[in-house]
Structure 1
Amino acid sequence: MKIALLSVTKSGLKISKQLKMKLSQDPRIFQVDIFHKNVKETLRRIFDDYDAIIGIMAMGIMVRSICGLLSDKRRDPAIIVMDDAGKHVISLISGHLGGANDLTLEIANLTSARPVITTSTDVHGCMGIDALAKKYYWKIKNTDKIVKFNRALLDGAKIIIESPENLEYLFNDQLFRKSYMIKKGEDKIIKAILDKDEIKIKPCRLVAGVGTKKGINEEKIIEGLKKALSFLDLPLERLDIIATGEMKKGEKGIINASRILKKPLKFVDLNDLRLEDTHSKSSFVEDKFGVGSVCEAAALHVAGRGSRLILRKTSYDGIAIAVAVSREKVF
């Protein structure tokens, strides 16, 4: 995730600097940039380049500055506003699909500000269909039906999730259990069904790239995968593929972990690893293999063309793990 922090006052700039330090510790966040003053001009220039934009300013300034830039809830960045005393942090735009609500809660936790969430499903303790898709990295085809389905949830309806895949891990999600039921389906795609209407859903490919020191056993690797996915608030069952470099073909720990978890294991050719632009850089790995990070490169390659990292390299006792998600067109 790339985040832009905008401020207009000295106190706002101070908060931006403090927030940058704290957000940069999150392995889901890859870049945090600070911009000061010239709000309208800056927003026009950066609006499409960041996943989230946080304005440390009066909400009116942000609203007036972004109104001509918004285009589509599927593509607009998360927009968050925080007052320059750091007392309140408000999710303004793209609360669900853009992740503004979750980021607002994280900022509140980091700064002790009071979070302000106004999306109806959230304030009534429901998980909207768009929030469900965002959390589990699903793509929704007919987004025009989101409002109808979410309104039904607020009226007490239960939505059926019909799937050919095993989605039992969803039952561990308390908010999911409150509003949804699972039914075995025959079609190749997932469907959310409300009466005679339906929303078509397809999961994005989720790949964990793994690099290890020699001789690491499968128990440690599985525990490392669980810890990595916990940063994303995802169960291990949501993972689709495990990937690593071809130099790890003899590592029984990785092979056995794949077998135990019943997840496909892909070995990536060294030349293909070198083609990937990784976020993390290890001089040792680069000198030895010519790639900045084996786990990041393997995850990106197997996730497919245009894929993106959603968890940068994280290390656990001799194990390095990164997670990438596909960006291929699914509908």
Structure 2
Amino acid sequence: MNSQKTAIYALTAKGADLARSIALDTGAVSYVLERYAEDRDISFTQFLPLIAETFSLYDSHIFIAASGIVVRAIAPHLKSKDIDPAVVVLDQKGQFAISLVSGHLGGANELTRMIAEMIGATAVITTATDCSGVPSIDMIAYDNELEIGDIGLIKHVNAALLDGEKVGVYDPESFLDIEGLSDYFYRVEDAVDLIELRCGVCVDWRVHDLPESVLKIYPQCLRLGVGCRRGVPAVEIRGLIVAVLADHGVAGQSIASMGTIDAKNDEEGMLEFAERMGLEINFFSADELDKIEGTTPSGLVMKHMGVGSVCEAAAMKQAGGQDLIIPKNKSARVTMALAKDFRVKDI
């Protein structure tokens, strides 16, 4: 548990004592009703306005309160299971710890078990896969640091597992670790083999035309390199990249980071593009990029940037110098290239 990203709330005197005990052991932030607060706590007087302010600020929330009060407090702020923070509810005596929201992807189930063990409570986990002792595809993907395409399709795969059916998996590069899970999954040799199944899982950085019964999972193995002229807006950068990915049948969801030359570290369009796409952006010096072999040099880039290649070299630099899967493509003012990081499975 990241202590600075977990908040604990208490509405009673006994709850305040329990909150401080947990906060002391974990370093989490404790919010306590004003009349029961001590110097180490953050005091509050109005519960609902407090939750409206803090709900999006923390990865996890622990409430020492009645479940009904908690539900009414957090309901207006819930968005989706893939982005909602973990919510755990405790009674003031510390007898029960209940995983309420974001049990799998948000980590509430794990947090519930940890807190229960810490204070000697009974952990209450109600997610069906946990209760039945079968694996959940969302947790397997999470543990393998893979991105799930349509969160809504998780339920179809987990439902099949709960019904005792084996689920077919197309994973040509073995990103999804299902070793030891042969009672629940089996591998297929071609993505089209999934089409006629009740449901299936496709793990690939390539685009496949598959029905909604197939859950698409994307390995975070692609590194994007970008170059642009001064003042190019984010929409123009995005336009080239989206078009090129479509032409090559590559899924943008598998791009984990982007890179460029450090002279562009204040380029607003590039920074905005990275933020909108949720990409980590890396800046490299001309010397760093010049050491990358196998790029296509450009006299114009050399003239303006002092290096023969920006987009190809930046992509390959992030990927550990591996070969490009998409060489330099360009529009009037933007260049892009894509490399595959073969180290991802070993990290």
TM-score range, shorter chain: 0.5 to 0.7
1:145 equivalenced with 2:153 (yes/no): yes
Alignment of 1:300-319 (within 5 A): none
Q: Is the 8 A contact 1:139 1:203 kept in 2?
A: yes
Aligned twin of 1:247:
none
1:117 equivalenced with 2:133 (yes/no): no
Per-residue CA deviation, residues 141-186 of structure 1 (Å, 9 max, x unaligned), is 11121122211111111112221223585315xxx44422234568
Aligned twin of 2:164:
156
1:199 equivalenced with 2:208 (yes/no): no
Equivalenced residues, count: 205
Aligned twin of 1:35:
31
Alignment of 1:43-192 (within 5 A): 43-167=51-175, 169-172=177-180, 176-183=181-188, 188-189=204-205
Per-residue CA deviation, residues 282-309 of structure 1 (Å, 9 max, x unaligned), is xxxxxxxxxxxxxxxxxxx979xxxxxx
List gaps (5 residues or longer) in structure 2. 34-45, 192-202, 222-255, 257-283, 289-316, 320-347
Q: Which amino acid aligns with 1:163?
A: D
Q: Is the 8 A contact 2:156 2:213 kept in 1?
A: no
Q: Distance in 1 between matches of 2:218 and 2:185?
A: 17
User: What SS does structure 2 have at the residue aligned with 1:98?
Assistant: coil
Q: Distance in 2 between matches of 1:182 and 1:21?
A: 47
| 21, 26, 45: which one aligns with 1:23 | 26
Q: Which amino acid aligns with 1:13?
A: A
Following superposition, the deviation at residue 130 of structure 1 comes to 1.7
List gaps (5 residues or longer) in structure 1. 25-31, 206-239, 241-267, 273-300, 304-331
Q: Is the 8 A contact 1:162 1:190 kept in 2?
A: no
Aligned twin of 2:242:
none
Per-residue CA deviation, residues 197-238 of structure 1 (Å, 9 max, x unaligned), is 311112346xxxxxxxxxxxxxxxxxxxxxxxxxxxxxxxxx
Q: Is the 8 A contact 1:164 1:190 kept in 2?
A: no
Instruction: List structure 1 segments (4+ residues) > 6 angstroms apart after TM superposition.
Output: none
Q: Distance in 2 between matches of 1:50 and 1:170?
A: 32
1:9 equivalenced with 2:17 (yes/no): no
Following superposition, the deviation at residue 137 of structure 1 comes to 2.1
Q: Which amino acid aligns with 1:62?
A: V
Q: Which amino acid aligns with 2:32?
A: H
Q: Which amino acid aligns with 1:4?
A: A
Closer, same or farther in 2 for the Cα pair 1:302/1:36, shift >3 Å? farther
Following superposition, the deviation at residue 9 of structure 1 comes to 1.0
Q: Distance in 2 between matches of 1:73 and 1:91?
A: 13
Q: Distance in 1 between matches of 2:206 and 2:137?
A: 12
Q: Distance in 2 between matches of 1:167 and 1:188?
A: 8
Q: Distance in 2 between matches of 1:197 and 1:156?
A: 17
Per-residue CA deviation, residues 106-128 of structure 1 (Å, 9 max, x unaligned), is 11111110000111111011122
User: What SS does structure 2 have at the residue aligned with 1:17?
Assistant: helix
- Greater C-alpha radius of gyration: 2
Identity over the aligned pairs, expressed in percent? 33
Q: Which moved more, 1:129-138 or 1:4-13?
A: 129-138
Q: Distance in 2 between matches of 1:178 and 1:141?
A: 24
Q: Distance in 1 between matches of 2:63 and 2:212?
A: 42
What RMSD in Å do the two structures reach over aligned CA positions? Answer: 3.5
Q: Distance in 1 between matches of 2:29 and 2:90?
A: 16
